[in-house]
């Protein structure tokens, strides 16, 4: 049983991804994607960034560990009539099905950061990128005051401690750790660049309803609620998350939730 795969196949991440489309599209619009560019979207989910890249003319392969999300991505590509975008199951830590130097651009937006062996993931991203190509990662930042690090902070107080040897995905939001991983993969440190960027979650509904979406469909939050329930603390977790979502909501509309979240944008020139 692969716990990493089980976590992301749990629930239905497409129900969260639906609130991430605008920022995904904007991010891709900023990457200089052109006709025929060979793009790998790693940890692609149901195609929030893969599909806009294909709409800009790139040949896109989406790889994700969760087979339900791969199926959802292929269905979305088909609905949009995009025959230059396909999705397949794979693990960012071991991309044995992909060739060396296959892609001009490897994109991984809140994707490869969740692979359990970060040094292997960096090595694989470098291996499949053509010389002169780029790797662009979006990574959440530990202890950041905006949404995602705070969800994690609240949830972890209700969850059992991680197993020995577990490396937090959030370490991909620490510049020194990211540099160390790419240097170990053979990239000079000066070819690893960092910028702070913002991703906006837009949800049609109230902040409390948005918390419900995470509780019912987002694997990591579902696990936190299961752990909280065992200790009779479900209501407390619900209340803390609702307070967080309400505090971070910037939408003036009562029927909309809009929450900006800061992330670390990593650009590696291979």
d(CA 129, CA 151) in angstroms, rounded, equals 33
**Can you tell me whether residue 98 is helix, strand or coil?**
coil
Q: Based on the shown chain and the rule CB under 6 A, indicate whether residue 147 belongs to the binding site for ligand SAM.
A: no
Sheet holding 129-140, edge to edge: 85-89, 59-64, 38-42, 103-109, 129-140, 256-269, 192-204
215: left (phi over 0), alpha (psi -120 to 50) or beta: alpha
Q: Based on the shown chain and the rule CB under 6 A, indicate whether residue 44 belongs to the binding site for ligand SAM.
A: yes
d(CA 121, CA 113) in angstroms, rounded, equals 8
State the alpha helices, DSSP H only, in 83-166. Answer: 118-127, 147-156
Write the CB contacts of 18 (distance below 8 Å, at least 6 apart in sequence). none
Q: How far is the CB of 164 from ligand SAM (least distance, A)?
A: 19
Q: Based on the shown chain and the rule CB under 6 A, indicate whether residue 136 belongs to the binding site for ligand SAM.
A: no
Q: Based on the shown chain and the rule CB under 6 A, indicate whether residue 45 belongs to the binding site for ligand SAM.
A: yes
Q: Which is nearer to ligand SAM, 37 or 261 (CB)?
A: 261
Q: Which of 28, 56, 61, 109 binds ligand SAM (CB under 6 A)?
A: 109
> And the tokens for 217?
């469909």
Q: Based on the shown chain and the rule CB under 6 A, indicate whether residue 93 belongs to the binding site for ligand SAM.
A: yes
Q: Which is nearer to ligand SAM, 66 or 178 (CB)?
A: 66
Q: Based on the shown chain and the rule CB under 6 A, indicate whether residue 72 belongs to the binding site for ligand SAM.
A: no
How many secondary structure helices (H) and strands (E) does the chain include?
Answer: 11, 7
Q: Based on the shown chain and the rule CB under 6 A, indicate whether residue 12 belongs to the binding site for ligand SAM.
A: no
Q: Which is nearer to ligand SAM, 114 or 225 (CB)?
A: 114
Q: Which of 54, 92, 147, 224 binds ligand SAM (CB under 6 A)?
A: 92
* Spatial CA neighbour of 60 closest among 87, 79, 89, 78: 87
- By beta carbon distance, the residue nearest ligand SAM is 45
Q: Based on the shown chain and the rule CB under 6 A, indicate whether residue 171 belongs to the binding site for ligand SAM.
A: no
Q: Which is nearer to ligand SAM, 51 or 228 (CB)?
A: 51
Q: Based on the shown chain and the rule CB under 6 A, indicate whether residue 91 belongs to the binding site for ligand SAM.
A: yes
Q: Based on the shown chain and the rule CB under 6 A, indicate whether residue 223 belongs to the binding site for ligand SAM.
A: no
Contacts with ligand SAM, residue ranges (CB under 6 A): 4, 8, 13, 17, 20, 24, 43-45, 48-49, 64-66, 69, 91-93, 109-111, 114-115
């Amino acid at each position: 049983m692969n716990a990493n795969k089980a976590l992301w196949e749990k629930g239905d991440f497409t129900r969260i991804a639906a609130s991430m489309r605008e920022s995904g599209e904007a991010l891709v619009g900023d990457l200089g994607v052109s006709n025929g560019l060979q793009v790998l979207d790693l940890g692609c989910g149901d195609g929030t960034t893969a599909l806009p890249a294909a709409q800009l003319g790139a040949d896109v392969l989406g790889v994700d560990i969760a087979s339900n999300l791969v199926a959802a991505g292929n269905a979305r590509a088909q609905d949009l009539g995009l025959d230059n975008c396909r999705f397949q199951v794979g693990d960012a830590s071991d991309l044995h099905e992909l060739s060396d130097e296959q892609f001009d651009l490897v994109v991984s937006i809140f994707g490869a950061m969740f692979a359990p062996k970060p040094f292997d993931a960096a090595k694989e991203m470098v291996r499949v990128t053509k010389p002169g190509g780029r790797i662009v990662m979006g990574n959440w930042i530990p202890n950041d005051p905006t949404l995602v690090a705070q969800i994690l902070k609240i949830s972890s107080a209700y969850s059992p401690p991680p197993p020995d040897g577990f490396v937090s995905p959030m370490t991909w939001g620490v510049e020194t750790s990211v540099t160390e991983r790419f240097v170990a993969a053979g990239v000079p440190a000066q070819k690893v660049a960092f910028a702070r960027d913002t991703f906006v979650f837009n949800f049609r509904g109230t902040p409390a309803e948005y918390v419900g979406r995470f509780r019912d469909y987002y694997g990591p939050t579902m696990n936190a609620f299961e752990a909280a329930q065992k200790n009779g603390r479900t209501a407390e977790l619900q209340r803390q998350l609702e307070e967080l979502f309400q505090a971070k909501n910037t939408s003036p509309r009562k029927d909309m939730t809009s929450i900006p979240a800061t992330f670390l944008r990593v650009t590696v020139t291979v």
